[in-house]
Chain A
Amino acid sequence: MDRHSLQAGHRACAGCGEALGARLAIDAIGEKVIIANATGCLEVFSTKYPESAWTVPWIHSLFENAPAVASGIEAGLKALGKADSVTVVAQAGDGGTADIGFGALSGMFERGHNILYLCYDNEAYMNTGIQRSGLTPLDARTTTSPPGERSWGNDTMKKDLPAIAVAHGVPYVATASVAYPHDVQAKVKRAIKVKGPKYIQIHVPCPLGWGFEGQLTIEIARLAVESGLYPLYEMENGRVTRVKTVPKRVPVEEYLRPQARFRHLFKTPGGEEQLRRIQEIADANAARFGLGPVETPQPVGV
């Protein structure tokens, strides 16, 4: 592609994982695409009037309706006899996907529309100032899940959206990470060959929201995968078909420690117990997907 689908010059923060994830994913499709985008950082930073960073047809309507708008686009293209020549994409952040747009997403899945849904998962509502979403991980500090005397931060587990997509009978479901750009693009390319709804959830670290320097985005994303907290896998027709194994799995602390959103776990007495719980999440992922053992088991603690 001579030019990117999402051009330089947009207003994302330095080191924005979402900008990178979106560019990688849409570039992998090519120019024959129509995108329905939910409200969120991506929409705001890429389309501030009178400039648009998109070189492909793109529409933003509201926060919770990208899957329904995309459903209408797909139906419209069918009615006009143009459906075969265009890939329809719906895309949103984690809040737009897991929370407010969840009903519309379920409807889109269930009706079997030929649409690729891309969830850019930066694990909180970043556009409104880092509030907790259904995909915020356990113990993360957000502005609405602050740690305190009676709180370790977010007190819920990350919602397992890929499993929910699979439960709808979605024929292609995958997770991906901006730390592995070729993998993101390979998954998008595989997805668009599948007829019906497709769901790819891409882990896109947010320097501002997570509290790390912008040059570390890829490193942080890589540690999420290498720790087992963000397993990368594909599920086709309900079965796990590919997994990125992690032969040298690192302890979760290596991923958590550089991020301000988890700093309280390392500074507060009793934090070791929380870190153990998070390690258990990674271990459970490793067992479920066969990622591999932690390379150098260390006592977990402050």
Chain B
Amino acid sequence: MRKVIEGSAAIAEAIKACRAQVIAAYPITPQTHIVQELSEMVANGALKAEYVRVESEHSAASAVLGASAVGARAYTASSSQGIMLMAEVLFNISGLRLPVVMTCANRAISGPINIWNDQQDSYSVRDAGWIQLHAEDNQEAVDLHLQAYRIAEDPRVQLPVMVCMDGFVLTHSYEPVDIPEQELVDSFLLPFRPARTLDPADPKTFGMYAEEGYTETRFAVQRAMQSSKAVIQEVAQVFERHFGRASGGLLQGYRLEDAELVLMGTGSILGLLKSVADDLRVRGERVGALKLVSYRPFPTETLREKLAGVQKVAVFEKAISPGGVGILAGDLRSALHPVKNGPEVSSFIVGLGGKDITAGTILQAVEMARAGYVESHFMELDEEFLAAAVE
């Protein structure tokens, strides 16, 4: 059913439609509206699930780990500091191959403390062994959650999935969203049937101390990540046939045919990047946009295909590896490195801590990228502030 709904409420509807059985979460802005909606659904009986009101994000991740290990479909959500506090559990969940799904309502990390949107939180746990999918708008956020459980629980994958959606920009925005009918979701997402569970009838030891087999276990996670690329594409295709709209996949190109310059990013910034590409096309410039949906696994092969013939890529990212470069740009350069005459990748850091990103910001970066290689550049710095206050 299509209705105007807040992003967070739409996600709660999606989790309900997925029939999550255990929800454990700790409040943090801007994730809170999602878990409040879910609490209400559990309280009024609309969602038959156990809601565990944990005392920290560390315990939220740990509780969904335990629930998943006994065979329950489990869900959590967090942001920012919460993702940081969960970090060691996130690695553990993927190592245990538990198909938990969580939402990251992307937010800046302290310090200084800032509640507004960027993507430093999810990017900082890129190595945790979670599939990370980025939503451009609230419809896609809903669709990615439905796809996430199917991807995570696929026997070829058995890895957790983090659906990333920009905090406030999406979580607190009202948009028309199609909330799929329960029957439609039920025929798309079958009940969770894990290969192994903690079960007294068939006792197994999970989470052993390993020296022998440690490397191989880590390799198995890497291999499953690689296999998940095909599964992510396949699930997106099945989703389109089933629900009648395209959503998800590894990446989505926009006006890439004959493009010389491609504007690339993850999440809600894509609307702006596409609109700037449209404006530049009107001026006769061959510009396209590329939305990376799956940041992990990183779709190296597909990116090489899509960017074949492109001269320059301007990457816009709301995260930085201090002392290094923009994280996404670094990954893209590495993926394109073996490509002969591949595109030059410039990196622009934008929108940290909710800083406004305007068409002007993007156009300025486009000019810089055209002028030459930009290793990594902070856009829209307040030079007066820097001179006066930072040191």
Contacts and interface: CB of A to CB of B under 8 A. Distances in A.
Contact of A111 (B52, B60, B204, B206): B52
A75 B62 contact: no
B209 A73 contact: no
Interface stretch (B68-76, B105-113, B342-350, B361-369): B68-76
Nearest to B203: A57
A50 B211 CA distance: 9
B49 A79 contact: yes
A79 B72 contact: yes
A73 B66 contact: yes
Contact of B55 (A50, A52, A104): A104
Contacts of A67: 59
Contact of B200 (A31, A47, A64): A31
B65 interface: yes
Given A49-B213, A75-B22, A79-B49, A62 B208 contact: no
A69 B205 contact: no
A59 interface: yes
Given A65-B59, A78-B50, A59 B21 contact: no
B290 to A, nearest CB: 38
Instruction: Among A49, A57, A62, A77, find the residue whose CB has the most chain B CB atoms closer than 10 A.
Output: A57
A62 B62 contact: yes
B150 interface: no
Given A65-B58, A80-B21, A111-B53, A72 B209 contact: no
A47 B209 CA distance: 6
A36 B59 CA distance: 13
B50 A61 contact: no
B323 to A, nearest CB: 29
Given A75-B22, A80-B72, A68 B54 contact: yes
A82 B96 CA distance: 22
Interface residues of A, number: 46
B89 A75 contact: no
A70 B70 CA distance: 10
Given A44-B209, A76-B22, A104-B55, A59 B49 contact: no
Nearest to B72: A76
A212 to B, nearest CB: 26
B72 A69 contact: no
Contact of A106 (B55, B71, B204, B207): B55
Given A50-B212, A104-B55, A75 B96 contact: no
A43 B92 CA distance: 15
A68 B89 CA distance: 11
A72 B88 contact: no
Given A61-B92, A79-B67, A86-B200, A107 B59 contact: yes
Nearest to A69: B66
A156 interface: no
Contacts of A58: 198, 203-206
A47 B62 CA distance: 20
Nearest to B54: A107
A106 B59 CA distance: 11
A57 B198 contact: yes
A27 B202 CA distance: 17
B384 interface: no
A62 B67 CA distance: 15
A208 interface: no
A71 B58 CA distance: 13
A32 interface: yes
Contact of A76 (B74, B89, B92, B212): B74
A219 B208 CA distance: 32
B205 A71 contact: no
A60 B158 CA distance: 18
A15 interface: no
Contacts of B211: 48-49
A56 interface: yes
B52 to A, nearest CB: 5
Among B21, B202, B208, the one with the most A-chain Cβ atoms within 10 Å of its Cβ is B208
Interface of A: 31-34, 36, 43-44, 47-50, 52, 54-62, 64-65, 67-80, 82, 85-86, 103-104, 106-107, 110-111
Given A58-B203, A58-B204, A107-B55, 14 more contacts: A36-B66, A47-B205, A48-B208, A57-B203, A68-B59, A71-B52, A73-B70, A74-B66, A77-B72, A79-B49, A85-B200, A104-B56, A107-B54, A110-B55
Interface of B: 21-22, 24, 48-50, 52-56, 58-60, 62-72, 74, 88-89, 92, 96, 198-200, 202-213
3 closest A-B pairs (Cβ-Cβ)?
A: A72-B66, A107-B55, A72-B63
